[in-house]
Amino acid sequence: REKRLTLPPSEITLL
Amino acid sequence: PGLLEPMSTLVRVPKSASTLGIAIEGGANTRQPLPRIVTIQRGGSAHNCRQLKVGQVILEVNGISLRGREHREAACLIAEAFKTKEKDYIDFLITEFN
């Protein structure tokens, strides 16, 4: 859970 | 192997419009490890097929697993699948669950 919180958000791509 | 995913559904999206019309977020090494649909644009192929929904997670594209692929790679695979003239549809294996 700790690790999960440190992961960065993702960019968003329009396809 | 993807078909063994619990609660997964295969959705075939015909290329019925000039765009696919989805926005995705997520990919390996982000908070959202598999790409999730965040927008479906009206008038796009995805919208026309009526089976894709915001919040669904994409497990596979034309049988290719997206597990372990970073955002850009996943986005490229989907873009290529839409661009190729080999098929007039894209198969998405999707799940409602993160």
Residue with the bigger pLDDT between B65 and A1: it is B65
- From B26, B32, B82, residue closest to A15, measured CB to CB: B82
Sign for the CA dihedral angle at B1, B4, B75, B80 comes to positive
Rg of chain A in Å (alpha carbons)? 11
pLDDT of residue A12: 97
Closest-CA distance of chain A to residue B60, Å: 16
pLDDT tens-place values along chain B, 98 residues long:
455 556 899 999 999 999 999 999 999 999 999 999 999 999 999 999 999 999 999 999 999 999 999 999 999 999 999 999 999 999 999 998 76
**Which chain B residues touch A11 with a CB distance below 8 Å?**
25, 71
- What is the ipTM for the molecules in this complex? 0.89
| A6 in contact with B, Cβ within 8 Å | no
Nearest to B30 by CA among B69, B79, B76, B80: B69
